């Protein structure tokens, strides 16, 4: 998907109570919806195009289904992700989804969940912008989030203290009643100060979690450990569980 061959369009915007902007555009006969953080530069729409030269887009080496880029937005370093399907469905429809209302689009739902978590002080990247290109029955979507500099996946970390902190972070997420749809060792990042961050909340949701749902989330993460770095199960997984349980013991 590229936005570089677009026509000029009129912009209508209003401020929401959470200080993000909702923007409605008409572009080439289709409706474009944007949800923007105040940090987003103006004009915002070109920033969702990896071909936009000022962004200096660089493909993310792993993840994103070949649809994620590191981009430069004025003084901000960000990650741009275009939503694409995986599995067998991708052979038929690669980047279009059924329209069920704006709030249920992949990018707006993730933006809103990230913003809620970020405002609550949870360690997630700041959401910068969400875009939805709506057709008659389907839509395409993209998301911009602030980049975590010098970050590495948790699966590459062998320090037990980092895994202890990761356990605490996931417990805090669960206490906030957030369920992560794809909790794995690549969606937990560790920065240069060994702070653990949660990324990729696509299809995540906030709803009262049961103990069974929390356990299923942790089981998914453990399967990821066994697949990617099986040696860490014996050295770090028990420490992760200690950190996780300590948060609930202190509650």
The DSSP letter of residue 19 is: S
Helix (H/G/I), strand (E/B), else coil: 171: helix
Which listed residue (18, 42, 49, 182) is catalytic?
182
SS3 content of the chain, % helix, strand, coil (to 5): 35, 25, 40
pLDDT at 10 over 50: no
Per-residue tokens: 52: 């936009």
Query: pLDDT tens digit string along 85-102?
Result: 865 554 556 789 999 999
For residues 207-224, average pLDDT: 97
pLDDT at 14 over 50: no
Query: pLDDT tens digit string along 102-121?
Result: 999 999 999 999 999 999 99
Nearest 5°: phi and psi at 88? -65, -30
Q: Is 19 a catalytic residue?
A: no
Query: pLDDT tens digit string along 61-76?
Result: 765 455 899 999 998 9
For residues 25-30, average pLDDT: 71
Buried b (16+ CB within 10 A) or exposed e, 202-218: bebeeeebeeeebeebb
């Amino acid at each position: 998907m590229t936005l570089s061959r677009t026509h000029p369009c009129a912009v209508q915007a209003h401020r929401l109570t959470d200080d993000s902007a909702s923007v409605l555009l008409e572009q080439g006969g289709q409706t474009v919806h944007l949800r923007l953080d105040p940090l987003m530069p103006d004009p915002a729409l070109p920033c969702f195009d990896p071909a936009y030269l000022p962004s200096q887009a660089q493909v993310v080496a792993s993840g994103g289904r070949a649809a994620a880029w590191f981009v430069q937005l004025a003084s901000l370093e960000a990650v741009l992700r275009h939503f694409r399907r995986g599995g067998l469905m991708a052979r038929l429809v690669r980047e279009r989804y059924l329209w069920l209302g704006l709030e249920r689009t992949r990018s707006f739902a993730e933006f809103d969940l990230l913003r809620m978590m970020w405002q609550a002080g949870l360690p997630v990247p700041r959401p910068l912008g969400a875009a939805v290109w709506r057709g008659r029955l389907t839509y395409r979507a993209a998301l911009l989030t602030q980049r975590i500099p010098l970050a590495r996946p948790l699966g590459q970390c062998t320090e037990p203290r980092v895994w202890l902190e990761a356990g605490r972070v996931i417990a805090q997420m669960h206490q906030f009643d957030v369920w992560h749809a794809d909790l794995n060792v690549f969606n937990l990042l560790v920065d240069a100060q060994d702070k653990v961050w949660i990324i990729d909340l696509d299809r995540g949701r906030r709803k009262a979690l049961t103990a069974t749902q929390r356990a299923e989330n942790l089981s998914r993460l453990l399967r990821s450990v066994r697949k990617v770095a099986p040696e860490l199960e014996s050295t770090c997984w028990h420490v992760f569980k200690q950190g996780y349980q300590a948060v609930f013991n202190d509650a």
